[in-house]
DNA sequence: GTCTATATCGGGATAGAC
DNA sequence: GTCTATCCCGATATAGAC
């Protein structure tokens, strides 16, 4: 078992080396893209041998996983703050999403390369996979909190699965954002605002008797999808 | 310009060789996965030199693109038939999806690897990209036809963007299917049935005045997203 | 135009010595 | 923990047979 699985036990020097490699890697990913950046270059720029880089990171993609992890940790307090300050459902969700988009902004060009394994269940980097479960659940917690703080009043059955749906919504928006080459990705911001408005409207209407069959079907849908994830 | 860009001019023998390479490649992809199958092995098993394999296919991924193309062509008549025989909106859409799932079934294990570039706009294999536009538009046509045949009666503004939404829905379902390891991917079938039921219900309700603001917002949403695709 | 053979390169990944 | 050496494979290049 290599040291990246044992971060509590490592020596100061090891942690320093590991961190240096990761920093150089991310910098090169940003500057040249994921494919173009080579591990030889990363190792050289970090002042270690190629073999040593592999001692710390099992693969090139492990560097990406480490980036995910670090990002999740660093964004946590930012999101907590943003959540505390924002008022209302739409504002709160916007706050969460804004932290993410700002954090990932400089990495947008290579985020696509990161997420490209989204459709591959075997891949550790898949946002739906087992290895990313921790990050995913943390994200859902934010949305649960936003709903809770906003005292969103929807039928209980629906309320239960809203965090999951919001997380899925977030993934869709990030996907759009990666493809968005409008100035400053303003189109994504528009899409976010409009879709959140749509959602708020839908949530207000969710209690209407007319929509009951629709709601029941949606919940049944989520139940099936969840069953799938459970034994994934 | 290599022969794959000039399929009308090739000799019988050339077409045979090209096809043989593609068949062997797909077989190996299925048996060993995309990564594990090597071009050297593909060439050897097809009885051609490595250089010759590259003569017909610019890259390993070009083999995948060729598979997409062939799949789209081979499924076209099947889908037309299925559409002609099925009655009602849900049955028709189910028919389209069933043809796809059956066709892709044997390749499910490596479809994930194929679609793994879905989130990378630079990649030719992206289902949202320029190189796959032809296939994508053909797919949307099927959904347009299913809607038309079923005389689905929804406000015109909504009707206009339904094929696009159904295509997106299809992509989501395929993604779920790739992750679905229930017996015979029955969960995907359940999800398909339930979600189509949900959609049918939603379409029936779409004309209600109560839902007008919701509908308008949805259409505005699609408009923004489309604008994005236009200059993509 | 179709095909073989072979050499070469770049880069991810690994083995094993220290 | 760190290194050097090596392997494997995708991709390219070249020279030539038919």
Q: pLDDT 10s digit of each residue in chain B, 232 long?
A: 444 444 445 688 999 999 999 999 999 999 999 999 999 999 999 999 999 999 999 999 999 999 999 999 999 999 999 999 999 999 999 999 999 999 999 998 788 777 777 677 778 888 888 889 999 999 999 999 999 999 998 999 999 999 999 999 999 999 999 989 899 999 999 999 999 999 999 999 999 999 999 999 999 999 999 886 654 4
Radius of gyration, CA atoms only, chain A: 20
CA dist., res. A154 & res. A162, Å (int): 10
- ∠ Cα B93 A159 B191 (to 5°): 20
Q: Is the CB of B61 under 7 A from strand D?
A: yes
| Domain B1-58 superfamily per CATH | Homeodomain-like (1.10.10.60)
Q: What tokens appear for B54 in the block?
A: 């590259």
A191 touching B (Cβ < 8 Å) = yes
- ∠ Cα B74 B76 B80 (to 5°): 140
Q: What is the pLDDT of residues A83-95, one digit of tens each?
A: 999 999 999 999 9
Chain B neighbors of A224, CB-CB under 8 A = 187, 190-191, 194
Same CATH topology for B1-58 and B61-225?
Answer: no
Full-prediction pTM beyond 0.85?
A: yes
Task: Show me where the domains of chain A are located.
Answer: 1-58, 61-225
Q: How far is B162 from chain A (nearest CA, A)?
A: 17
| Domain A61-225 superfamily per CATH | Tetracycline Repressor, domain 2 (1.10.357.10)
* DSSP-assigned letters across all residues of A13-75: HHHHHHHHHHHHHHHHHHHH-TTTS-HHHHHHHHTS-HHHHHHH-SSHHHHHHHHHHHHHHHH
Q: Is the CB of B3 under 7 A from strand C?
A: yes
Contacts of A61 (CB under 8 A, 6+ apart): A117, A123, A124, A125
B123 touching A (Cβ < 8 Å) = yes
The SS3 of residue B35 is coil
| Alpha carbons within 13 A on the beta-carbon side of B63 | 28
Instruction: Give the count of beta carbons closer than 10 Å to the beta carbon of residue A141.
Output: 14
Q: What is the pLDDT of residues A175-203, one digit of tens each?
A: 999 889 899 999 999 999 999 999 999 99
* A213 in Cβ contact with A111 (< 8 Å): no
């Amino acid at each position: 078992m290599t040291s990246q699985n044992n971060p509590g036990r490592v020596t100061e020097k090891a942690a320093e080396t590991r961190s240096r490699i990761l920093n150089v890697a991310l910098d090169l990913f940003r500057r040249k893209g994921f494919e173009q950046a080579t591990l030889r270059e990363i190792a050289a720029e970090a002042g270690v041998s190629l073999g040593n880089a592999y001692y710390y990171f099992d693969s090139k993609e492990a560097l990406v996983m480490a980036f995910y992890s670090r990002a999740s940790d660093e964004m946590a307090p930012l999101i907590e703050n943003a959540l505390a300050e924002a008022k209302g459902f739409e504002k709160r969700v916007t706050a969460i999403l804004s932290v993410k988009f700002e954090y990932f902004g400089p990495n947008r060009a290579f985020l696509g390369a990161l997420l490209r394994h989204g459709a591959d269940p075997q891949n550790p980097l898949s946002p739906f996979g087992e290895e990313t479960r921790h990050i995913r659940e943390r994200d859902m917690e934010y949305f649960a909190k936003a709903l809770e703080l906003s005292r969103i009043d929807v039928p209980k059955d629906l309320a239960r699965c809203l965090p999951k749906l919001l997380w899925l919504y977030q993934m869709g928006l990030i996907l759009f954002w990666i493809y968005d080459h409008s100035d400053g990705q303003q189109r994504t911001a528009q899409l976010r605002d409009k879709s959140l408005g749509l959602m708020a409207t839908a949530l207000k209407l969710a209690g209407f008797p007319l929509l009951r069959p629709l709601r029941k079907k949606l919940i049944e849908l989520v139940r099936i999808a969840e069953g799938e994830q459970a034994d994934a």
